[in-house]
Amino acid sequence: MTAAAPAIEPIIGLEIHVQLATRTKMFCGCAVEFGAEPNTRVCPVCLGLPGALPVINERAIELAVRAGLALNCTIAEVTKWDRKSYYYPDLPKNYQISQYDMPIADGGSLDGIRIRRAHLEEDAGKNIHDIPGCTAVDLNRAGTPLLEIVTEPDFHSADAVREFAIRLQRLVRYLGVSEANMQKGQMRFEPNINVRIGTGEDACVTPIVEVKNLNSFRSLHGAITYEIDRQVAQWRETGVAAETGNKSNRGWDDAKMVTLPQREKEESDDYRYFPDPDLVPLTLDRNWIDSIRAALPERPDARIERIVANFAIPEKSAAALIDDRATVDLLDAAAAAGGDPLTLGKHFLGFWSMHANQRGVPIAQLGIVAAHMAELSRLVADGKINATAAAAIADQMIKSPAAPARLAEQLGLFQSSDESEIAAWVDQALAANRKAVSDALANPKKMKAARGFLTGQVMKLSGGKADPKLVGQLIDSKLAK
């Protein structure tokens, strides 16, 4: 081949199923609960028993509207419910209640990616394959509310898709719309992938492949990367471009990192969508929508920027902090209560994070009020205690509701500026470290290290409460003698 390699442009759209953070299911009062004993969170409605009637979960509507508004969608004035027919063991009604032609949210955008629509639907149950000799069905998940968000095919690389997915996860968590825990299947991705090969009139496109049910960023990225390569290789081999109707489904093998063929994709005709006769169309009150819009929080990106600027927290850490809304609210509240922003930033990244990690909870659940966090930061910023003492006080604050100043006093951690007391510690440190002292005096290059070491020793002797500035001065003057 002498011709230059043709231009290759991946074209990718995303369908994302997000489990709404409701207490109960979409159309019945059964609890939404991950990991419960199989088939214990079920009732006639979600079991699809004859005669059972669905009742709409208002909270699910509210969360869907919230997400739709944050995705800059138009919220429908009237939305309706449709039956999407298919036959699976984990779908007891043989249809899924979904929204076909009147989705609750329409035509938005996020970070430059167009959102085609977002509609409500119910989840299916789960087939369980790990029992030898049989497949079991657990219907606890059947009827769980999902928001299906569909983008236009605006992505052109696996990286761009992953970046968007991470931002979307952050957004729905931040909005309180979904916990979006992918290990629990609360956020699942289905990319539609094909490739344009060549340019202008000679360009052709490969058949679209939809990869089903990806539940990690890694598998999302891996599946897209694999599909792009596979489609290009197949085109080189067969020269077959897309024809209408040849969209297919593939699954993802996470261990082998390959996609594998699945059933042919149904066209919407096959689903025999029709309006659900058990559910009336829903008219959404404009005032209610406006009140949800007014209550939308600051966008996560804007908030991350603000956290970086106000608290000198690195962007990556700020992004992690805002994953728990209550925690980042606590940080702001501590600053508002008079805390020192820079010190608060250090404390949040330092010992507050450490205590939270040790307990496996977010910082907001450590049980420490904003005013106390603020006070602790002020004690440091005002030079009344040092950083080591602050960490020791924080240890106590976890166990005691007492105010930090009180604890500092009880623990004797207020910084000592008593010169004779500090001088005594300095003498003690110098006496105990004659080698370091004589080295430093013999070799000026070693002076700085020796000085740092001796300061550390004095701080240790003082139990962390000596004023470090005074310590440094006293060491210098004593070494000079």
Residues that bind Mn ion (CB under 5 A): 148
Q: Which of 376, 375, 381 is nearest to 395 (CA)?
A: 376
Task: Write down the least CB distance from residue 246 to Mn ion, Å.
Answer: 21
Helix (H, G, I), strand (E, B) or coil at 286: helix
Residue 182's binding partner, choosing from Mn ion, Zn ion, none, with beta-carbon cut-off 5 to 8 A by kind? none
The residue (of 26 and 454) whose beta carbon lies closer to Zn ion is: 26
Residue 28's binding partner, choosing from Mn ion, Zn ion, none, with beta-carbon cut-off 5 to 8 A by kind? Zn ion
DSSP 4-47: PPPPEEEEEEEEEEEE---SB-SSS--B--TTPSTT-S--TTTT
Q: Does 30 bind Zn ion (CB under 5 A)?
A: yes
Task: Write down the least CB distance from residue 253 to Zn ion, Å.
Answer: 33
The residue (of 35 and 132) whose beta carbon lies closer to Zn ion is: 35
Residue 122's binding partner, choosing from Zn ion, Mn ion, none, with beta-carbon cut-off 5 to 8 A by kind? none
Residue 30's binding partner, choosing from Zn ion, Mn ion, none, with beta-carbon cut-off 5 to 8 A by kind? Zn ion
The residue (of 217 and 271) whose beta carbon lies closer to Mn ion is: 271
User: Where are the alpha helices (H) located in 146-216, listed in sequence order?
Assistant: 158-174
The residue (of 121 and 375) whose beta carbon lies closer to Zn ion is: 121
Task: Write down the least CB distance from residue 144 to Zn ion, Å.
Answer: 10
| C-alpha to C-alpha distance for 195 and 323, rounded to whole angstroms | 34
Phi-psi region of 132 (alpha: psi -120 to 50; beta: other; left: phi over 0): beta
Residue type, 350: G
| C-alpha to C-alpha distance for 336 and 374, rounded to whole angstroms | 8
Residue 180's binding partner, choosing from Zn ion, Mn ion, none, with beta-carbon cut-off 5 to 8 A by kind? none
Q: How many residues in the shown chain lie near Zn ion by CB under 5 A?
A: 5
Task: Write down the least CB distance from residue 30 to Zn ion, Å.
Answer: 3
φ/ψ (deg, to 5) at 309: -70, -45
The residue (of 121 and 375) whose beta carbon lies closer to Mn ion is: 121
Residue 148's binding partner, choosing from Mn ion, Zn ion, none, with beta-carbon cut-off 5 to 8 A by kind? Mn ion
| C-alpha to C-alpha distance for 199 and 8, rounded to whole angstroms | 9
Task: Write down the least CB distance from residue 146 to Zn ion, Å.
Answer: 15
Q: Which of 12, 56, 46 is nearest to 164 (CA)?
A: 12
The residue (of 143 and 191) whose beta carbon lies closer to Zn ion is: 143
The residue (of 8 and 43) whose beta carbon lies closer to Zn ion is: 43
Q: Does 52 bind Zn ion (CB under 5 A)?
A: no
Tokens of residue 156, six digits: 């052109």
Q: Does 139 bind Zn ion (CB under 5 A)?
A: no
Residue 380's binding partner, choosing from Mn ion, Zn ion, none, with beta-carbon cut-off 5 to 8 A by kind? none
Residue 123's binding partner, choosing from Zn ion, Mn ion, none, with beta-carbon cut-off 5 to 8 A by kind? none
Tokens of residue 75, six digits: 């919220």
Judge contact between 142 and 134, C-beta under 8 A.
no
Q: Which residues contact 339 (CB under 8 A, 6 or more apart)?
A: 370, 373, 374, 375, 376, 377, 378
Q: Which of 1, 378, 361, 328 is nearest to 173 (CA)?
A: 328
Task: Write down the least CB distance from residue 46 to Zn ion, Å.
Answer: 3
Residue 205's binding partner, choosing from Zn ion, Mn ion, none, with beta-carbon cut-off 5 to 8 A by kind? none
Task: Write down the least CB distance from residue 24 to Zn ion, Å.
Answer: 8
Residue type, 36: A
* Among 14, 21, 28, 330, contact with Zn ion (rule: CB under 5 A): 28
CA neighbours within 13 Å on the CB side: how many for 337?
17
266 burial (CB, 10 Å; 0-12 / 13-18 / 19+) is middle
Task: Write down the least CB distance from residue 150 to Mn ion, Å.
Answer: 9
Task: Write down the least CB distance from residue 143 to Zn ion, Å.
Answer: 6
* Among 46, 124, 330, 394, contact with Zn ion (rule: CB under 5 A): 46
Tokens of residue 73, six digits: 């969608």
| C-alpha to C-alpha distance for 69 and 71, rounded to whole angstroms | 5
Residue 82's binding partner, choosing from Mn ion, Zn ion, none, with beta-carbon cut-off 5 to 8 A by kind? none
Q: Provide the 10 A C-beta neighbour count for residue 112.
A: 8
The residue (of 84 and 465) whose beta carbon lies closer to Mn ion is: 84
Q: Which of 144, 123, 137 is nearest to 90 (CA)?
A: 137
The residue (of 20 and 366) whose beta carbon lies closer to Zn ion is: 20
Task: Write down the least CB distance from residue 161 to Mn ion, Å.
Answer: 18
The residue (of 44 and 383) whose beta carbon lies closer to Zn ion is: 44
Task: Write down the least CB distance from residue 264 to Mn ion, Å.
Answer: 17
The residue (of 170 and 188) whose beta carbon lies closer to Mn ion is: 188
* Among 8, 11, 43, 405, contact with Zn ion (rule: CB under 5 A): 43
**Contact positions vs Zn ion (CB under 5 A):** 28, 30, 43, 45-46
